[in-house]
């Protein structure tokens, strides 16, 4: 391993704070905790995120005739507010909402973001352009080389700082946060070799799945992603990922936290019964 032993001296009160983050799983011991904290302090910080919230929520009709899916309540507040809270808790406070269907209701709820402790900018899909097209609309507002993009209908407690630190160690255009499910036929299935995603298949046919790892709908992207998105047409990130995988430019970060993709009435019911406000 590419490591070198060092000796340090510090106050006992500081050691107790270091020891407090050791959980035996993600942080194994004191040495690992110190290395983790040093890494977190040195990696470039990500402060911007794009939330893709412009879909019509066809699978949730008739409810989405009146309300965008992102405003459906879970544990006392809208799905999108849970996402905003997650971002803010990891110091990502410059948020771009890509809105479309009933997007004015999202704008009415969140405003400029000040009361939620963030700054919110809006871009409007006048017609559906897909996740890739929606991201292109946000390009002019993205000022950093690395940023997050999230689907506006997921709930997760992933550690975004760990995800960003992992991405910064990779030579890739995009890093996908990955989780595991029993049936991948409703998701983007991936095959992972080391840290590289070697295959990406959107909603594989039942019985022909080759993995239990799926795309969680949360990405760390470099601005070079825009070189791969076609202009002036409907495009989807899920159609771009297979090409990036073939070129060795797509990495996967496997996390063990909670995750729910709210795409159907059944999954929404699951979110209501299983998700608890922290």
Q: Which residue in 119, 125, 85 sits closest to 103, CA to CA?
A: 125
Residue 205: the pLDDT is 64
* CA separation for the pair 177, 32 (Å, rounded): 22
Give me the mean pLDDT over the 65-85 stretch. 88
Q: Are 167 and 175 in contact (CB under 8 A)?
A: yes
Give me the mean pLDDT over the 84-105 stretch. 92
Q: Are 214 and 188 in contact (CB under 8 A)?
A: yes
Average pLDDT, the chain: 85
Residue 29 — pLDDT band, cuts 50, 70, 90?
Answer: confident
Lookup: tokens for 226: 């825009």
Q: Mind listing the pLDDT tens digit for each residue in 151-205?
A: 999 999 999 988 998 898 888 999 999 988 876 667 678 888 888 999 888 776 6
Residue 10: the pLDDT is 81
What are the angstrom distances between the C-alpha of 254 and each of 76, 124, 165, 193? 29, 32, 13, 12
Q: DSSP assignment, residue 45?
A: P
What are the two backbone dihedrals, phi and then psi, of residue 112, each rounded to the nearest 5 degrees?
A: -85, 0
Give me the mean pLDDT over the 84-104 stretch. 92
Task: State the Rg of the chain over Cα.
Answer: 19
pTM assigned to the model: 0.82
Among all chains, which residue has been given the structure tokens 């097209």?
A: 133
What are the angstrom distances between the C-alpha of 169 and each of 1, 42, 193? 16, 12, 16
* CA separation for the pair 114, 156 (Å, rounded): 23
Q: Is the peptide bond before 52 cis (omega within 30 degrees of 0)?
A: no
Residue 82 — pLDDT band, cuts 50, 70, 90?
Answer: very high
Residue 61 — pLDDT band, cuts 50, 70, 90?
Answer: low
Residue 146: the pLDDT is 93
What are the angstrom distances between the C-alpha of 120 and each of 85, 142, 218? 13, 12, 18
Asked if CATH classification 3.90.550.10 holds for the domain at 44-274, the reply, yes or no, is yes
Q: Which residues contact 163 (CB under 8 A, 6 or more apart)?
A: 175, 177, 218, 220, 253, 255
Residue 58 — pLDDT band, cuts 50, 70, 90?
Answer: low
Please determine, for residue 8, whether its predicted confidence score (pLDDT) is greater than 90: no
Residue 278: the pLDDT is 46
Please determine, for residue 260, whether its predicted confidence score (pLDDT) is greater than 60: yes
Q: Which residues contact 13 (CB under 8 A, 6 or more apart)?
A: none
Domain ranges for the chain, please list them: 44-274
């Amino acid at each position: 391993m590419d490591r070198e032993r060092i000796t340090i001296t510090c106050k006992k009160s500081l050691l107790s704070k270091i020891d407090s983050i050791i959980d035996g799983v993600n942080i194994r011991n004191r040495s690992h905790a110190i290395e983790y904290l040093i890494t977190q302090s040195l990696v470039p910080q990500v402060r911007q995120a794009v939330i893709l919230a412009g879909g019509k929520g066809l699978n949730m009709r008739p409810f989405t005739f009146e309300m965008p899916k992102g405003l459906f309540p879970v544990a006392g507040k809208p799905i999108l507010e849970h996402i905003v809270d997650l971002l803010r808790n990891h110091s990502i406070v410059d948020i771009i909402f890509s809105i479309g269907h009933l997007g004015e209701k999202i704008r009415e709820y969140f405003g400029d973001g000040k009361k939620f402790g963030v700054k919110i900018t809006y871009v409007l899909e006048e017609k559906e352009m897909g996740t890739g097209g929606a991201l292109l609309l946000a390009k002019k507002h993205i000022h950093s080389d690395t940023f997050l993009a999230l689907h506006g209908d997921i709930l997760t407690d992933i550690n975004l700082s760990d995800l960003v630190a992992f991405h910064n160690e990779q030579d890739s255009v995009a890093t996908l946060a990955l989780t595991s499910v029993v049936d991948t036929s409703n998701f983007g299935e991936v095959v992972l070799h080391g840290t590289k995603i070697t295959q990406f298949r959107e909603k594989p046919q039942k019985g022909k799945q080759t993995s239990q790892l799926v795309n969680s709908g949360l990405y760390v992207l470099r601005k070079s992603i825009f070189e791969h998105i076609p202009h002036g047409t409907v495009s989807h990130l899920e159609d771009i990922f297979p090409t990036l995988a073939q070129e060795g430019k797509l990495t996967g970060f496997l996390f063990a936290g909670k995750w729910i993709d709210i795409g159907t009435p059944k999954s929404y019911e699951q979110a209501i019964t299983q998700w608890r406000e922290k």
